[in-house]
Amino acid sequence: MIYLDNHATTRVDPRVVQAMTPTFDLNYGNAGSVTHTHGMDAWELVESAAENISDFINASPDEIVFTSGATESNNLAIRGVCERRKTPGHIVTSQVEHKAVLDPVARFEKLGFSVTRLPVGRFDSGAPGRVCPEQLADALTDQTALVSVMLGNNEIGTLQDIAAIGEICAQRSILLHTDATQAMGKIPIDVEALKIDLMSFSAHKFYGPKGVGGLYVRQRGKRVRLNSQIDGGGQQAGIRSGTLNVPGIVGMSRAIDLCSVELCGDDPDRLRGLRDLLYERLCEGLGELPVNGLALSSADRLGCNLNCRFPGLNASSLMTIADTIAVSSGSACTSAEPEPSHVLRALGLDEDAVHCSLRFGIGRFNTPTEIIEAADCLVSAGKELRGLGD
């Protein structure tokens, strides 16, 4: 099996596993136990992870809330802000957000909030998949409680202009949340420079374990207050109660260390090179394949992402024949649903175009040999489907 579905999740880096191991059999204390060294050692590990993760995004340790992943972080950010209001307000988001943003937003719409879901550039425009910051500025009202626009898209890899959006929100004193699940660890992120107030991330997208993530919550300058969503022991200043997942937190911190080293090296270029190799080889075998989203050469597209159409071929049939290649036709969380991808639909693609699209996520452990093998396998599957045979 060749794994090219790194937007859905990543393999845990062996160095992360190694860092986590002692937290199962040596440092297994409850980080909330203050009466013995087992607990205090565990707390130190959590503190050092918070320092490490906050350094990576130019935040401070007290601005990191550990969660079970980005779904929880997005819910905490959106519900946490909106529930503090005495009367319903206005939320601005985009049409290409993950369901973990769209669904909590829809919940508040049912409760009387008004919602603007900004469109993105169409597939045939100069900026497919991108939110226009000027359009966002025009959508803001005196009632806008929150803007939630993702940093990197999980299907088409588009990076949004969060710097411009952050500036607009800051000028209007409106809170900005960004879902950075797909961007964290893959591009440098500076929450101060980007003027982000709340930012979600999840370890399993950057070679860490599943079931752990975080929410950056601004405390410097304009302090963000959230209603807690999980009440109990009062951990994490009461914002998110529950015994801290020390193994997961240690793993996430180690994973961030590794990303920070890789980002300074040639890893981003290597992944981009593998992605380009995959695309070129697919096109050589099957003819021109239209790319969904920004051009592959664009700096505003995640270098590890490819999403393209295989005209005349059904993506599900392709995946069935090329069953040694792990790819997907959309986000993992929604791929069980029969509905076509809302992200591709937001680009203005018709149903046929959506159904012939595949998403590839290249990762740290992929090799050129694997990429060539995967491309050849898909080309032969495509030819078989076209009835040409090899």
Ligand X SMILES: Cc1ncc(COP(=O)(O)O)c(C=O)c1O
Q: Interface with ligand X by CB under 6 A: which residues?
A: 69-71, 98, 100, 150, 154, 179, 181-182, 202, 213, 331-333
Please say whether the dihedral angle defined by the alpha carbons of residues 253, 255, 258 and 259, taken in this order, is positive or negative.
negative
3-state SS, residue 293: coil
Please identify, using beta-carbon distances, which residue of 27 and 75 lies nearer to ligand X.
75
Please say whether the dihedral angle defined by the alpha carbons of residues 79, 81, 84 and 85, taken in this order, is positive or negative.
negative
Backbone angles phi, psi at 199, to 5 degrees: -145, 125
Q: Which helix (H) or strand (E) holds 193?
A: none
Q: How far is the CB of 295 from ligand X (least distance, A)?
A: 21
CB atoms within 10 A of CB 18: 11
DSSP 204: G
Please identify, using beta-carbon distances, which residue of 54 and 202 lies nearer to ligand X.
202
Please identify, using beta-carbon distances, which residue of 81 and 150 lies nearer to ligand X.
150
Please identify, using beta-carbon distances, which residue of 75 and 116 lies nearer to ligand X.
75
Alpha-carbon span 122 to 331, nearest angstrom: 20
| Catalytic choice (132, 169, 304, 333) | 333
Alpha-carbon span 203 to 300, nearest angstrom: 22
Contact between residue 184 and residue 213 where contact means Cβ atoms under 8 Å apart: no
* Catalytic-residue membership of 259: no
For residue 159, the Cα-to-chain-centroid distance in whole angstroms is 11
Please identify, using beta-carbon distances, which residue of 214 and 382 lies nearer to ligand X.
214
| DSSP-derived secondary structure for 38-49 | HHHHHHHHHHHH
3-state SS, residue 326: strand
Specify burial of residue 128 (Cβ count, 10 A radius: 0-12, 13-18, 19+). Answer: buried
Q: Which residues are catalytic?
A: 333
